[in-house]
Chain A
Amino acid sequence: MTDPTPRPARAGRRSDTRRRVSPTAVLAVVLPVLTVGALALVQPAEVDSPGRAAEQVPPTRVDLVCPEGVEDSVLAFTGGSQTDDGAVLNPLGGSDPTPLELKPNAVPESDEQGPAWARGSGPVAAELIGSRYVERGLASAPCVQPRPEYWFTGVGAGAEHSSTLALTNPDPGPAVADVTVWAGTGPIDVPGLRGISLPGGETQRLELGSVVPRRGELLLHVVVSRGRLGAALADEIPSIGAREATSAWLPASPEPATESLLLGLVPSADRADEPSDRLVIGNPGTSEVRAELRMVTEDAVFVPEGLEEVRIAPESIENVTLTETLRRQIEEGALGVLVTASDPVTATLRSVVDGDLVHSPVATGGDAALTALVPPGAARLVLARAGGAGVAVVTSYDENGRQLQEKRVELSDGSGGELKLPGDTRLVRVTPRRTDVTAAVVVRAEARRTSGTTVVPLEQLVRYALIPDVRPGLPR
């Protein structure tokens, strides 16, 4: 455009010359080809966002919130292999903190009855676990690391089954939680469970029978919107007829998942007993879920005759009475129930066996050492769903940390097994080699003329702190 001389005349003259291609004609081909060609080379690679996963580091501190005791309960702790004396038990409500004297694999106990929390600092933070148990009508509940949300499946709020949610705030600052409730008919609006505020160092008990009185099973979702909270749910079946009231802690369900293994089925000891088994499945999602129930034995997973697919309506909870099938299968060696759902669900198996309330919780397993604190009683280790051929090394310790037994269990793909643990076992550790496995301990104890059973899932003790990838961003 800088050239002030006009050019069309020149172009015309050249095009008149025969047999000679005019330069403009050449340019008319070359320029578009060059232009489009240059543009065609602009092929921007997708801007790939670099990996921003959190970094895993050994924890330097762990806090465990233990549920409130019922009657004559005991708090048991172990620091695993650690001897560190950095663990302290802090009872809520004014009592002074007491240090936990930890020796390797020993299980020191405390008779602190009120709500309490323990803090492990230093190396012990990686392995400190705790649990509360009651000998009469044996029941146990783990001390939990405060987390942002808790799921409880199969909660009762009626005359035949009632539960109490206990929220404990271990921190000095206030904490706030919101509880969402689903029933068989769908979500329930419970104003009393929204914005539950707890001042620092306090426990709040919510008797669901009075907060949201209704029959049938409930699914609870506790979301801690501010501060940190430990949540525990005490479950009670009141006395009916000749049977005495029985209670236990309902273990919190893991996040909803499409596959849940409820491990540790409890056989009935008394032939006269009329056990009841109820499987409760919660569907917090917005679409209907189909769930298939299968039995898990030592070497197989199958759908037993007469067990049908369960349909759970969106945002509701469904319960299935399994007693007949389950009892038959237990006799034939069933170890657990596998729930496979089309969409994520939560599940619990609640049984009343020999007059005692037992929950078979979802066990998650893993490929690293799994541990559990074992309440006193006759303990039986159940292994299931091995991820492949390998070995599980089972080690038992007594309360002083003395190794009672070390056994190797050969595992093949999908297999499991049962193993009786020595009588004084208070700590069991399962170390899978070349495979992964799911495990639970079924403990049966006689105390004060009553027998009781509890199922304790073994949990992977690979505990780490997540250091999130933090980087400067752009404002929204």
Chain B
Amino acid sequence: MSATVVALLVSHDGARWLPTVIDGIRSQRRPVDRVVAVDTTSRDASPELLSEAFGPVITAHGSTSYPAAVRIGLEHVGDADWVWLLHDDSTPDPGALEALLAAADADLGADILGPKLREWPSLRRLLELGVTISGTGRRETGLERGEYDQGQHDDVRSVLAVNTAGMLVRRSVLEELGGLDEQMPIFGNDIDFGWRAAAAGHRTLVVPQAVVFHVEAAHRGVRRTPLTGRHIHYQERRAALYTLLANASTRSLPWRVVRLALGTLVRMLGLLAVRQVGQALDELAALVSLYGSPRLVLRARKERRQRQRREPVDTQPLLAPWWLPYRHGLDFLGDLAAAATNQAADVAERRRIATGRPVRTFDDEDPWAEEQGALARFFTNPVAIAGMVFVLLALVGAREAFGTVVGGALSPAPSTAGQWWQLYAESHHALGQGTDVPAPAYVLPLALLGSLVGPTSAISLLLVLAVPLAFWGVWRFLRVVGRLLDEEGPPAWLLFVGSAAYALIPASSGAWGLGRLGVVVVATLLPWLAHTALGFADPDPDRRWRAGWRTGLLLTVAAAFAPVAYAFALVLAALVIGAGFWISPRAMKDRSVWGPPAATLVTPVVLLVPWWLPLLWTGSATGLALDIGRLPMATVTFTDLVTGHLGDAGAPAFLGLALLAVAVLALVPAATRVPVLVCWIVALAAAVVALALGLVTFDLPAVTTKAGLGFLVLVIQAAFVVAAVIAAQGAWRRPSRSGWWRRGLVALVAVASVAPLVGLGWFVVNGPGELEDVRDSGIPAYMHQSAGLGPSHGILVIEGDVDTGLSWTVQREDGLTVGEDEIVGLMTPDADLDRDVKTLVSAPEEDAAATLPGHGIAFIVLSDPVDGNVASVLDATTGLEGASADDRSTRAWRVTDGVERGAVEAETAWWRIVMLVMQGLLILVVLVLCVPSHIRGERT
């Protein structure tokens, strides 16, 4: 006598799929003996379809969960041997039931059998061949994503659980185990059921010969029921956690409790990192809902214990291996990296696709390339060789920056990165007589880099790699710009000339040799920033938003290293948005068009609050108009601006004039005139800012200086280079009218190419500029050591002579290091000390030196050349005794009264900490917003 099989079909708004499902059940080669249909108050035609097919339908309440529906259906099953559970979105292959029963006959110990689930409607991809659960609660199928069914898994085997869609289970077992657990209304009840069955000594088999096609409507969000609501992820996670906690062995329970809590946090961070805020909150809610009601779990565990009547099946081999979650973690990171690197594949191409133009693939490489090794290809490519030679020569030019480097505007690096962190965290610095002027924002990136490689190497890296990195960045940028103009993009030789011309700007402008670290760093950064800004032109709104945030982040770094960059960005945005409204007012109303640039402009304001805000309230907003580094700024004139120089430094001016000439000539060809005009708009924005800043002279307490125009010099030159490359590409690709035109073009390009060559030669010879290994401060080593004891052991350094005026500075601890110059330049010196120094040097008075310990001064140094008048006054001052100086050209005194501890101290106020924590969080948020969206929506 053959066993009786009752199919138990539960439906809810499944009219879309039911006709096929009904066909599937009816066409079974081994027909089912009866069909029990349960409908949970569908609002579509499901009940009618079911009753037409299988007779009376049991109707349950709309909020009935799947386990409850199964329980209701089970009451109507009668005394059948087997119950075949089916969903309204799963249709069995005609041979499914036959194969399942055959497997049951072959293995009499099997109580639960599951089919091979394939994707519906593709019908080919594998969904599940039995499922298990990993230690983190992840549903594991053991399949690759989107794996095709090619019979590769067609062995009957024991599994922990099978999906309820198509599950054939002995009625007695179903009843003995109390059906499915109603704590899991939609998801995960199958794994729990399988696990419970195993614990109760029942075996589960997957039978790949039986095939069921499944839509997974609930999981994919195709179907929303009152049970899932919008929070599918919550339901899935809650079910997973519940399953693990309810079924785990008592021994492993404490470990699992801790691990799941921590794991949830890690998963939340991961989800936040890919902007899945909703899912992250779902994770948390699932954890809280279960951990908040431990009785639920305890009751479930008790119930499961009570049902253990037979020898349990060993579930260990059926559970997912322990390392699986870690592999998934690695996969996730890999996906992230792949998405980030693929991002660049190229605005030009995507625009072309979006406008429906054909995308050709170009292979201007050697057709034999594939057959040659990479090395051979490299050495037979003249541009590659030239690039390598260029980078090597640039490194030779940068020789002075290897190891410690100071000079010009550049102070020495601090001895540890911790000093940078401390400087950044302090709200009150022990510089001079103590100041509230905030540490400049670029200290943060330097501290990060310095923590990785050490402060000295951080500065060296920034200087040494400036030219190579700028070369690389501008190469990428120019290639995309060229491909926006025409499909083929610029020829490699043109890219090389353009990139070399740009990469040499920091050197040939003199910024490198003057030690203007900010300008050099921004020169490195600018092409990368421009490249991300090209993303504003992306056809995909989401990519425009990513570009907006990325550009914003890079602009923030740029504004930290060159504050003027932000003013420039504002002016440029005003010009470009104005032009946008002129050209296409309708497009500009689209939020995804104006939003990303707006995000770019807002980001620096928000992220630089810990710098800008205290600058304003300490009255040092001047700092926003200065380049970073030592004061004063180079005086930049009209000639310097058009030829790309900082004051008198840098390469010969005719190189800059050549570039200017080419940039003007670039406006002549009509075909490329519009993009060249865009370059000129960029130059105009820089010129406007230069004009505004050039009119101002800043009277700082210690020095009078002009604004720092280094960044603008750089931008103007960069715009000229890009304009020249665009025009050259246009002329090259459209060999026009007559031979003389082409010959003239070649001649012009040849002449223009000479400029970078001469610039490179100049850099190789004159590279070091004002940079050197050490700077002689004229302060004896023993004083440095004494100053290192604490900020109260200051050294008062007096320079100048009586006739032309004296100036004083106070050096504390290790002297001024990178990051402190800006503070000292902007701070208001202590008026009391100023008065006391004046008294001290004017005439020997009895108690002139008595106030010095209170000012935190332990030594006085009179710098070379010493004014004997001042020296004799100090010699005759009581309270000072001569100290040995570095050499005979300087003089030094020790203050005989010991130091007053705590005379000058650094402080870190709570609001500074709050500000920095906020800044850190905001940086994370922006970083998250920068992450490519490619990986969104994946199962996590």
Contacts and interface: CB of A to CB of B under 8 A. Distances in A.
Contacts of B799: 473, 476
B671 A8 contact: yes
A43 B637 CA distance: 6
B674 A11 contact: yes
Contacts of B802: 54, 466, 468
Contact of B697 (A47, A54, A178): A47
Contact of A44 (B351, B593, B596, B637): B637
A4 B576 CA distance: 12
B580 A467 contact: no
Interface string B124-163: 0000000000000000000000000000000000000000
Contacts of B668: 28
Given A54-B803, A223-B868, A226-B875, A35 B687 contact: yes
Contacts of B866: 225
A39 B882 CA distance: 54
Interface in B784-820: 797, 799-809, 811, 815-816
A47 B707 CA distance: 12
A170 to B, nearest CB: 9
B539 A4 contact: yes
A34 B687 contact: yes
Contacts of B868: 147-149, 223-225
Interface in B667-715: 667-668, 670-678, 680-681, 683-684, 687-688, 690-691, 694-695, 697, 701-706, 709
A44 B875 contact: no
B577 interface: yes
Given A466-B802, A469-B806, A39 B583 contact: no
B837 interface: yes
Interface residues of A, number: 64
B762 to A, nearest CB: 23
Nearest to A48: B704
Contacts of A27: 677, 680
Given A3-B584, A42-B694, A473-B808, A468 B687 contact: no
Interface in A171-230: 171, 173-175, 178, 223-228
B825 A44 contact: no
Nearest to A469: B805
Interface string B294-309: 0000000000000000
Contacts of B687: 34-36, 38-39
B291 to A, nearest CB: 48
A226 B882 contact: yes
B869 interface: yes
Given A5-B584, A39-B690, A469-B806, A47 B670 contact: no
A33 B658 CA distance: 17
A26 B375 CA distance: 50
A61 interface: yes
A46 B815 CA distance: 30
A8 B703 contact: no
A468 B705 contact: no
Contact of B875 (A4, A43, A47, A227): A227
Contacts of A35: 680, 683-684, 687, 716
Interface string B593-620: 1101100000000000000000000000
B882 A465 contact: no
Contacts of B811: 475
A32 B680 contact: yes
Nearest to A170: B876
A15 B672 CA distance: 13
Given A2-B593, A41-B694, A468 B583 contact: no
Nearest to B844: A61
A39 B712 CA distance: 11
Contacts of A178: 888
Contacts of A94: none
Interface string B656-671: 0000000010011011
B804 A476 contact: no
A174 B882 contact: yes
B934 to A, nearest CB: 20
B863 interface: yes
Interface string A19-55: 0001011011001101110111111111101001110
B834 interface: yes
A174 B642 CA distance: 59
A25 B676 CA distance: 12
Contacts of A49: 704
A110 interface: no
Interface residues of B, number: 106
B538 interface: yes
B848 interface: no
A241 interface: no
B694 A44 contact: yes
Given A28-B667, A31-B680, A173-B882, A472 B875 contact: no
A54 B871 CA distance: 16
A146 interface: yes
A417 B418 CA distance: 78
Please indicate which of the listed interface residues B705, B838, B881 has the most CB atoms of chain A within 10 Å of its own CB: B838
Contacts of B808: 470-473
Given A1-B576, A39-B691, A476-B777, A468 B533 contact: no
Please indicate which of the listed interface residues A1, A52, A224 has the most CB atoms of chain B within 10 Å of its own CB: A1
Given A1-B533, A42-B641, A47-B635, A226 B843 contact: no
A42 B694 CA distance: 5
A228 B875 contact: yes
Contacts of B19: none
Nearest to B705: A47
Interface in B878-897: 881-882, 888, 891
Given A1-B576, A174-B882, A465-B843, A38 B824 contact: no
A7 interface: yes
Contacts of B630: 474
Given A35-B683, A226-B891, A474-B703, A44 B678 contact: no
A203 to B, nearest CB: 17
A241 to B, nearest CB: 44
B917 interface: no
B891 to A, nearest CB: 7
Contacts of A34: 684, 687
Contacts of B484: 6
B312 interface: no
A123 to B, nearest CB: 15
B25 interface: no
B593 to A, nearest CB: 6
B674 A8 contact: yes
A30 to B, nearest CB: 9
Nearest to B432: A472
Given A44-B637, A226-B882, A474-B703, A468 B690 contact: no
Please indicate which of the listed interface residues A27, A44, A472 has the most CB atoms of chain B within 10 Å of its own CB: A472
Contacts of B670: 11-12, 15, 22, 24-25
A171 B875 contact: yes
Interface of B: 351, 355, 432, 484-485, 533-534, 536-539, 544, 573, 576-577, 579-580, 583-584, 587-588, 593-594, 596-597, 630-632, 635-638, 641-642, 664, 667-668, 670-678, 680-681, 683-684, 687-688, 690-691, 694-695, 697, 701-706, 709, 716, 775, 777-778, 797, 799-809, 811, 815-816, 824-825, 829, 834, 837-838, 841-843, 863, 866-872, 875-876, 881-882, 888, 891
Question: Which 8 residue pairs spanning A and B have beta carbons closest together?
Answer: A148-B868, A473-B807, A52-B805, A42-B694, A472-B829, A38-B687, A469-B805, A31-B680
Given A8-B675, A474-B807, 16 more contacts: A1-B533, A3-B580, A4-B538, A27-B677, A32-B667, A39-B690, A39-B716, A41-B695, A42-B636, A53-B803, A226-B875, A470-B805, A470-B806, A471-B806, A475-B824, A476-B863
9 contacts: A1-B576, A4-B593, A22-B670, A41-B691, A42-B636, A44-B635, A468-B870, A471-B805, A471-B806
